Amino acid sequence: MNAFHSACALPRPLALPDFPWHSLRPYRARAAAHPDGVVDLSIGTPVDPSPAVAREALAAAANAPGYPPADGTKQVRAAIIEWMRRRRGVTGLPDAGVIPTIGSKESVAQLPLQLGAGPGDLIAHPRAAYPTYDVGARLAGATPVPVDTAADPDTWQLPDGRLVAIWLNSPGNPDGHVLDASQLARIVAWARERGVVVASDECYAELAWEEPWATDGVPSLLDARVTGTGPDGEPDLSGLLALYSLSKQSNLAGYRAAFLAGDPALVGAVTEVRRHTGMLPPAPVQAALAATLADAAHVEAQQAIYRARREALLEATTAVGLVGDPASVAGLYLWLSGPASMSAWDLVGAFAELGIVVAPGDFYGEAGAGHVRMSLTDTDERVAAAVRRLREPGAAALFGG
């Protein structure tokens, strides 16, 4: 040990799980050996071009010598409020109830800490869930608790401790499940009786494939049917926060363009933490966020691209005997299972033999056992290659068929 280490106490390592994607390396290598190359449908990283409206706004705002405001420019806050009204049916959002964020993952990871959660506290999240909900609780020293968010909260089995927040994710990653307004309202009422914050990650809301969601839209946590109304007739936002990201709907993952909306008191508290820690969305990104939210045409075009990929992959995976979750009606992924004899990793290995990389359901908690998640985010040419391979003679045998 050097002099520094001998004189100073090293930080105590956080009890974080291993980064799951590293365990896919041997399967990626096997898939890459396919003579026609790899088809990577494991991580939901957009590959289609960022829309021109975003690129032009980013370039126009590139001269940004000063620090951007932590709570966002007036223009970006107005754009968020208008988009929530127009696309999500959310009215009554005040100017103090919205802020831009540096992508939505940082909010998922840091919101428990920003809300003051600590050792002995509980953070609930969906049973099949994006791993960062678990990680965010652990970063705060709290305990992550998987629960069935589609069930009556009175049936949840919670350990001893103070429940600080409940994470919802609708449409869900990885499973594509949607919570209707009555389910959301039931959770909100239950949480308010106990002084618990409800936070909803809604970043896949523009990717609804089945009715009624494709026509009526996926309900937001901030919808008046969920929140109830206050004395002014506007939605009661108390104790509620919704996250949204342009990474998926607009192919802006590289911009880290997202926002937080809801209870002004909670948004204000989170903003103060962000201001003190320098978590300032870059001014050019704020300009791009505002401009992109105002344009619906590129979103509709991207929806059509993902719908076509989804239909092709769903047909091809069904043909080899895989079963798509019937409740997977929205989002960026297929949630597939095979024969009972095949584990998630068996399925990952079978796909790798065809040069296709998918994610094992084990990444998303115990509820993901026996499943794989297949994203819609490779090019049309690569998705077509995956479909051809799944239709080849002998492909079904890899999956027990």
Return the C-alpha torsion angle 213, 216, 220, 225, nearest 10: -120
Q: Do residues 137 and 273 share a domain? A: yes
Residues 6+ apart with CB under 8 A from 232: 92
Please calculate the CA angle 129-135-137 and round it to the nearest 5 degrees. Answer: 100
Domain-terminating residue out of 273, 294, 315: 294
Q: Retrieve residue 225's tokens.
A: 């049917």
List phi, psi (to 5°) of 101: -130, 165
CB-based burial, 137-167: b 16+ in 10 Å, e otherwise: bbbbebbbbbbebbeebeebeeeeeebbbbb
Domain-terminating residue out of 232, 265, 294: 294
278-310 pLDDT, tens digit per residue, is 999 999 999 999 999 999 999 999 999 999 999
Band of residue 233 on the pLDDT scale cut at 50, 70, 90: confident
The C-alpha atoms of residue 94 and residue 329 are separated, in whole angstroms, by: 32
Q: What percent of the chain has pLDDT over 70?
A: 96
Please give the model's pTM, rounded to 2 decimal places.
Answer: 0.92
Q: Do residues 147 and 200 share a domain? A: yes
pLDDT at residue 11 tops 60: no
Q: Do residues 225 and 324 share a domain? A: no
In this structure, of 12-21, 117-126, 330-339, the range with the lowest mean pLDDT score is: 12-21
Residue 351 lies in a domain: yes
Band of residue 15 on the pLDDT scale cut at 50, 70, 90: low
Residues 49, 278: contact at Cβ < 8 Å?
A: no
Band of residue 13 on the pLDDT scale cut at 50, 70, 90: low
If you search the block for the tokens 């007036």, which residue do you land on?
A: 74
The total of structural domains in the chain comes to 2
Range of the domain at 39: 19-49+298-398
In 65-207 the beta strands, taken as DSSP E runs, fall at: 98-102, 121-126, 143-147, 162-169, 197-201
Q: Do residues 209 and 110 share a domain? A: yes
58-77 pLDDT, tens digit per residue, is 999 999 999 999 999 999 99
Domain-terminating residue out of 259, 294, 329: 294
Residue 12: per-residue pLDDT? 53
Residue 5: per-residue pLDDT? 42
Q: Retrieve residue 395's tokens.
A: 């492909």
